[in-house]
Each structure stands twice: as structure tokens, then as C-alpha cells.
Amino acid sequence: MEMVFLHYDQAGLDAAYDQRVWAPDAAAWIARYAADTAAARATNPPELHDTGTGLLDLYRCPAPRGLHLHVHGGAWRSLTRADAAFAAPALFSAGLDLAVPDFRLLPQFTLLDLVEDVVAACLWAARFAGGLPLHLSGHSSGAHVAGVIATDPRLAGKLASVTLVSGVYDLHPVLLSARGNYVKLSEEQSWALSPIHQVGRISAPVVLAYGDQESPEFIRQTQALGAAIGVAPIVLEGTNHFAAAYALTAGPVHQAMLALT
């Protein structure tokens, strides 16, 4: 067997970057995202805003002390803001507004397009916050994008905290896996969009987390980023990749995130 990356042959690497291999109940969790977001919408209907590159749902609490923007997952190619606001009630209880943007998806668009949309959403949110702290989070591919945003000079000084749950932070092995069939980047672009190579640009405090039932590559990538920035990741016991999204709503990640607000 030819090794493609570390100790992985092609089939092994493909599996290591396919979280559904490690979470047979993935579809049920994704359906729960949508159902819980629909419930949050019904309880507190969001305002719809145009960031200039896409739409954003803004869930407002009565007396906010900060604004939290969340970037949803979906392997950079699926899901929408209608799947990503299930943390709204928990954030409201902490006195935070929640912004959830849509953005262009692969493969119709590029990862560069997607990142630009989220940068625009964060800049819009920073202006809207009007001096209140802006907090950023992401789950899965959204954690990768939030990590990229945390290194972007345009957001320097504008982020009060960054919470990254179950992401990848080095695109090199990702592009060697089957995901490379639709995440098409040059070597230079891959380097620029890999937060682990840009850690010197991260100025905001970071919370890192992963589930202990995730794929070994997602675990390794989070541990590597933690070592690079000097942050010990929170390990979510008994938690697979898709369940880890709910770490924003309760438990140690939620608590660590709120400690930075």
C-alpha cells in the first residue's frame, strides 16, 4: 500500500476526512440542527440583513452585552443559516445577540469566495455591534473558516474571542483526501487558508474543542493547532463530530466561551 499522508493510504485518508464514517447517526444530528433552529426562529424571529455579499439572520436579545457570530459547518458545500441557530436560546441567556450568515458554497464557488463572504459578514457585525464585543465561533468546516477569519488583518482588533469546534486547520492533507475533488486550491492558496500556518496573526483569545469520537485526523488537527497557539483543547467525552456542534449551548465549551465575554 502506498502511503499518501503520514501512515494513511488513500482509502484510509479518505475515511479520516469523512466524518460520516465515524458517526452513523450523522443524518439525525443534522436534522436536529434544522428542527432546533426552527424552534429558535419561532420563539424569537430573527431580523434579516444583507451584509453586501449575502444574507444574515440576527437574533436579538433585549439588552445585549455583545454580539456572537457563528459560522455553520457542512463540509464547505451544504447547510444554511436555517440549520445553524440552535445556540440562540443559550446565548440569549448569556446576554448575547446571535448573527448567523449564509455564504457561497462549494463546488459552484470557491473556498476563497466563501471566506470573503464570511469576512464581509464579520465586518458588518462589527459595525452593527457599535462598540459591543464581537465574538466568533464555527463548527466543522465553519471552524476552519472562523480560524481563517481570526488570522485576517481586516478583522485585527475586532474580535473579542474565537471558539473553534471540531475543525481542520491545515488544508494540505484535506486536499490529498477525496475532499480534494471539490476543494480545489493552489498550494499557495492552501497555505494561506490554513490557520496553523498563520497563528502569528491570531490576536483574540481562542477556545478549541473536539469530540473524542471524531475521526483521528480532526482530533490530530485540533491538537496541532492547540500546540501551535498554546491552548489546550477541550475534549468532549462521548461526543461525535455532529453532536459536538451543541457544545456551544452548554457544558465546558459554552462555559469557556462565556468566560471570554
> 142 and 80 in contact (C-beta within 8 Å)?
no
Residue type at 121 in one-letter notation: A
- What is the per-residue pLDDT for 130? 94
CATH placement of domain 10-258: 3.40.50.1820
63/177 Cα distance (integer angstroms): 46
**Cell digits of residue 217:** 485526523
Render the burial of 211-249: b for 16+ CB within 10 Å, e for the rest.
bebbbebbbbbbeebbebbebebbebeebbbbbbbbbbb
110 by DSSP, 3-state: which?
coil
Q: What is the DSSP string of 149-211?
A: HHT-GGGTTT-SEEEEES----HHHHHHSGGGGT----HHHHHHT-GGG-GGG--S-EEEEEE
69/72 Cα distance (integer angstroms): 10
Average pLDDT score over residue span 27-34? 98
Q: pLDDT tens-digit profile of 79-123?
A: 999 999 999 999 999 999 999 999 999 999 999 999 999 999 999
Q: State the Cα angle at 87 between 121 and 57, rounded to 5°.
A: 35
Q: Which of 80, 261, 257, 77 is nearest to 181 (CA)?
A: 77
Average pLDDT score over residue span 226-234? 98
End-to-end CA distance of the chain: 50
Q: pLDDT tens-digit profile of 43-74?
A: 999 999 999 999 999 999 999 999 999 999 99
Q: pLDDT tens-digit profile of 134-189?
A: 999 999 999 999 999 999 999 999 999 999 999 999 999 999 999 999 999 999 99
Is the pLDDT confidence value at 1 over 90? no
Distance between alpha carbon 17 and the CA centroid of its chain, in Å?
16
Mean pLDDT score across all residues of the chain: 97
**Cell digits of residue 100:** 448567523
Query: Domain limits of the chain?
Result: 10-258
| DSSP run (H or E) holding 96 | strand 96-101
**Cell digits of residue 180:** 480534494
- What is the per-residue pLDDT for 223? 98
Please name every residue paired with 55 in a beta bridge, in sequence order, or none if there are none.
50
> 213 and 238 in contact (C-beta within 8 Å)?
yes
Average pLDDT score over residue span 126-134? 96
Strands laid side by side in the 47-50 sheet: 47-50, 55-59, 96-101, 66-71, 134-139, 161-165, 206-211, 234-236
Average pLDDT score over residue span 28-56? 97
